[in-house]
Structures are given as C-alpha cells and as structure tokens.
Amino acid sequence: MSLEIKVPPVGESISEVTLSRWIKKDGDYVEMDEVIAELESDKATFELTAERAGTLKTIAQEGDTLEIGAVVCTVEEGGSQAVPETVAEAEVGGQEPVATETTSLEIKVPPVGESISEVVLSRWLKAEGEVVAMDEQIAELESDKATFELTAEAAGVLKYVASEGDTLEIGAVVCKIESGSGAAAPAKQASQASTNSQPAAQADKSYAAGTPSPSAAKILAEKGVNASAVSGTGVGGRITKEDALKAEAKKAEAPKPASAPKAAAPQATSFSGDRNERREKMSGLRKTIAKRLVSVKNETAMLTTFNEVDMKPIMDIRAKYKDKFKETHGVGLGFMSFFTKAVCEAMKDFPAVNARIEDEQIVYSDFVDVSIAVSAPKGLVVPVIRNAEQLSLAGIEKAVVELAGKARENKLTIEEMTGGTFTITNGGVFGSMLSTPIINAPQSAILGMHNIVERPVAIGGQVVIRPIMYVALSYDHRIIDGRESVGFLVKVKQLLEDPTRLLLGV
C-alpha cells in the first residue's frame, strides 16, 4: 500500500512551487517526518517531509514546477532501513556488532537582523564527514546586506543538510554535528586508513586538495587569482594564506612570454561566432536584491532631479592642504567628506530629505546616518556612518576608510549595514557621467556623484574650462516635493562651490 505525498499549502498568495532538490533518492527507506525534498516558492524555501515510514518512490523531478496539491512522490509501506556498512562487515566476520552511542546536534541559521528573513549558503568551509572543533567556522552565509560565518556549536563530525547556493530561512537547519563514540570511530578509522594506505605524496588527492582556507580564499578573490592555479602546501593539499600570498607575488612578477600570440589574451571574452547560449540559475542573493529593487520602483513615487557642481574650489583646497591634512589626521582628504558635510548642512533647511514613511506616518530624524555605497569583492554594500552631522571632515574620512576596509575583507556586521537615513553613491569612480540611482528603502532620497570632466562654462561673461561633476538626487515624491528636492540639491551645490560655508555653517 502506498501513500501519496503532495505539495502542502504554503501561503494564501502562493499557487505553485518548484522542486529544487531531492534530499532522499528513489528507492531509499525513509522514516516518518524525515525530510525528503526541498520546495521553493517565490518567497521562501521549505522542506517536504515523509508522512510515514517506507520506501520512497519519486514522481516529480528536480526543477519541476508543481501546483499546490500536486503529487510529489509516494511512500510504499514495507521495506527496511539499510544496514550500516560497518555493522554488515562485522556480521560477515562472525563478530557481533558493537553498540555505539551517537548524539546529533542541528546547526540552524541564526537571527542576523530584524529585516532579514532568509540567507544564502554561499560556501562550505569544512567538508562533509570532517571532524570540527567547537566554535570552528564551518560555512559562509550571505544575506542581501552582508556576509557572515556559521560556527560549530559542538565538536564532532560534520553532516551536510543544505547545499551551497541554497536559500534558507532564519531557523532552518544547515547541517548536523554528530558526536560520541559512534561518530568519532568512523572518522578516526578513515583517518588511520588514509594514513596507512596512502603515501604522503598522495595527500593532495584528499577532499582538502585545492581548497583554500577562509583567509586564503579572500585574498585570492580580491586579487582575481583562480584557486585551481595554486598549489596548496597545507594539510591534505589545502591552500594556506601563505600559498595565496605567494601566488599573488608570482602572478605579479611573472613576465609576459615574448612569443605568446596577441590573440590568446582576449580568447576567453571574444565571441566565437557559434550561436550557443547558456543558462545559469539566479542565486538566492541575486533574487533577493532583484525583489527589493523592483519593490522600491513599484512602491515609491521615485523621481530624479539633476544639477552640476564646479569642483575647482574643492580641488584647489585638496591640492593645497592634502599633505598637511594626512600628516595631521592620518587619512587622505577625499571628496566624500565634503559631500557628506554638504548633505548634512542642507538637511537643516530641508528635513524631509532625511525622513521616511512608516505606517502612514512621516518619521523625521534629528540625526543624519549616511549610508555610503562601497564596492566589495561580492558586490556593492552600503555601510553606515553614524551621526555624520557631528563629525569633522577628518572624522568622516576616517569612518569611510574603516568601513571600506571592512567591506573589502567581508567583515562588515549587520549593525554597520542597517539604519541609514540617507545614501550617497559615487558612480564616478567607475567612469559614470550621469545616472538615476534607486532609493535605498526605507530611506526617501539618495545622492549620486559622477565623474569629473573638464567642460566649457560661462563665468562672468567669459567661457572658461572648469572641472564639472553632474549630481543626481533621486527622491520619494510622496514625502519630498519638487521645491524641496531642487532646493536641497541647489544648497548642496552652493556649499560645494564655496567650501568656506561648510566650515562656517552658513
């Protein structure tokens, strides 16, 4: 007698799901309430469990889109659970199996912030079956705001539950750690067998071969070095931090072969002429970012206003005082501090630019927490400078340097990524002339900086060449009127073109 397992109701607005992954295979024996598959909707990923014990017979395939109530598989009554291999070997040898006690601890996705409901398992740092120590880093999790590490809550043998690329809700099980004699013995036996049967020269064939440590992976990612091109000298062939540093130096010092054909370099990026296409599944992180951006466009009355700024006064100040500034404060004098100070001053006259909508109420902040867009190895992140209105130019530059450094090393915390009241983004560092930046919800405005280009302008009836930057202010028209948006941007322009006003507060 077989029991049909159907797609359960998962929400009023959800009519279909995708079978993303089978956790158990066709013909496996499953226990009642055991997780057998993962289903994915446009809002979340959840698990399908067996409604009774028996033999699994799959009906749907991975990647199939199923309506609510559709049959996913059947569980046939009968069958028996597979006998563990170690027990079978003991019975063949005429020995009775030795009873072992094993405890299993589930490692779940921890709460990482009020506004974050799901994360993506971006990378396993430890291999399945590997013995891990308590508090050892075992995986990297990504949200749409930051990357953080998952640690082992106990010592034991690691058993995967989720796979790399899976989208997991807060509280979902990521893996299990088995401890006790039953878990330690197989790991110890495997280690001894490997040591006795394989010479040292064969160590690079283990699971660790070619796998970088967390610090080495970050170094290789920042420098664009492929791990497959690096030889690991660590245990089992693992790539250590020193290996990564040497690989960088070797790559930088290696001369270009004189005989190498010029056409070889662009080979990977040139079109072959064949009409081939490839499809890649969107990562959970990219899906989340896409949903948020579309949500902002659909749920706000977003409009953008533009102006231009003559950057010569600020560039003259930087040229005159940059060396003395760095000698005194220990940081360089950049443009971001001037723009941040100008924004904070302009908000005194136009507080709506620093406000937000919550439950049909407008919330005005008596402080300015400026979010700054920073390019990180895994994409653009937006850390926050707290109470920017109280900081000096040097204080702002120090905060920018600190946050940018953490972003490049993937060390930003959730607290450093949330709570901004206004955002500044600088597309000019990539050569952008003009753009319409998208608001960083729930904020109501964002200022876009762009590249500085020498252009002819009329000053005092004469045509002169000046370094000009176009600036753009995208804002939510539900809170900010046209008069306020234009007035705010004009005020920012006036302060930047006469930086003395920033020092005098006028």
| Tens digit of pLDDT at every position of the chain (506 positions) | 788 898 887 665 677 888 888 888 888 888 887 888 888 776 566 788 888 888 999 999 888 888 888 999 998 887 655 544 444 444 444 444 444 566 888 898 887 665 677 788 888 989 898 999 888 889 888 776 667 788 888 888 999 999 888 888 888 899 999 886 555 555 555 445 444 444 443 433 444 567 776 556 767 776 677 777 777 776 557 677 677 777 754 444 444 443 333 333 334 456 777 788 888 877 656 677 778 788 888 889 999 999 999 999 999 999 999 899 999 999 999 899 999 999 999 999 999 999 999 988 999 999 999 999 887 766 678 899 999 999 999 999 999 999 988 888 878 887 888 889 999 999 888 889 999 999 998 899 999 999 999 999 999 899 999 999 999 999 999 999 999 999 999 999 999 999 988 877 66
| DSSP for 82-132, written as a single string | PPPHHHHHHHHTT-PPPP---EEEEEEPPP--TT--EEEEEEESS-TT-EE
Residue 66 has a CB neighbour count (10 Å cut-off) of 17
16-22 and 65-67: which strand pairing?
antiparallel
- Alpha carbon distance 437, 449 (integer Å): 10
Structural tokens at position 244: 């990564």
Backbone angles phi, psi at 502, to 5 degrees: -65, -35
- Report the number of secondary-structure helices (H) and strands (E) in the chain: 10, 27
Candidates 464, 466, 421, 470; CA nearest to 442 is 421
Residue type, 8: P
CA atoms within 13 A on the CB side of 488: 28
Structural tokens at position 268: 């990977």
What is the pLDDT, as a whole number, of residue 202?
42
Distances (CA, A) of 106 to 159, 179, 226, 238: 10, 11, 33, 27
What is the pLDDT, as a whole number, of residue 324?
93
What is the pLDDT, as a whole number, of residue 73?
92
Contact 424, 339 (CB under 8 A): yes
User: Catalytic pick from 64, 274, 477, 498?
Assistant: 477
Structural tokens at position 417: 């990524």
Q: Is the pTM of this model over 0.95?
A: no
Distances (CA, A) of 227 to 114, 210, 257, 280, 410: 36, 7, 22, 21, 18
Peptide bond before residue 377 is cis, with ω within 30 degrees of 0: no
- Alpha carbon distance 500, 494 (integer Å): 10
Domains, the chain, in order of start with CATH, read: 1-82 (2.40.50.100), 103-179 (2.40.50.100), 206-252 (4.10.320.10), 301-504 (3.30.559.10)
Contact 32, 25 (CB under 8 A): no
- Alpha carbon distance 180, 157 (integer Å): 9
User: Catalytic pick from 28, 166, 481, 498?
Assistant: 481
Structural tokens at position 104: 């299993």
List all residues 6 or more positions away from 456 whose beta carbon is below 8 Å from its beta carbon. 463, 464, 465
List all residues 6 or more positions away from 359 whose beta carbon is below 8 Å from its beta carbon. none
- Alpha carbon distance 480, 501 (integer Å): 25
- Alpha carbon distance 505, 239 (integer Å): 54
Task: Tell me which H or E stretch contains 470.
Answer: strand 462-476
Helix (H, G, I), strand (E, B) or coil at 465: strand
- Alpha carbon distance 419, 363 (integer Å): 13
Show the beta-strand stretches assigned E in 163-287.
167-169, 173-179
Catalytic residue at 450?
no
What is the pLDDT, as a whole number, of residue 343?
96
Structural tokens at position 309: 């700024």
- Scanning 224-283, the segments in alpha helix (DSSP H) are 241-253
Structural tokens at position 259: 């005989």
CA atoms within 13 A on the CB side of 309: 31
Catalytic residue at 243?
no
Candidates 477, 482, 481, 501; CA nearest to 491 is 501
- 75 phi-psi bin (left φ>0, alpha ψ -120 to 50, beta other): beta
Contact 329, 394 (CB under 8 A): yes
C-alpha gyration radius of the chain:
29
Contact 64, 13 (CB under 8 A): no
Structural tokens at position 488: 């705010």
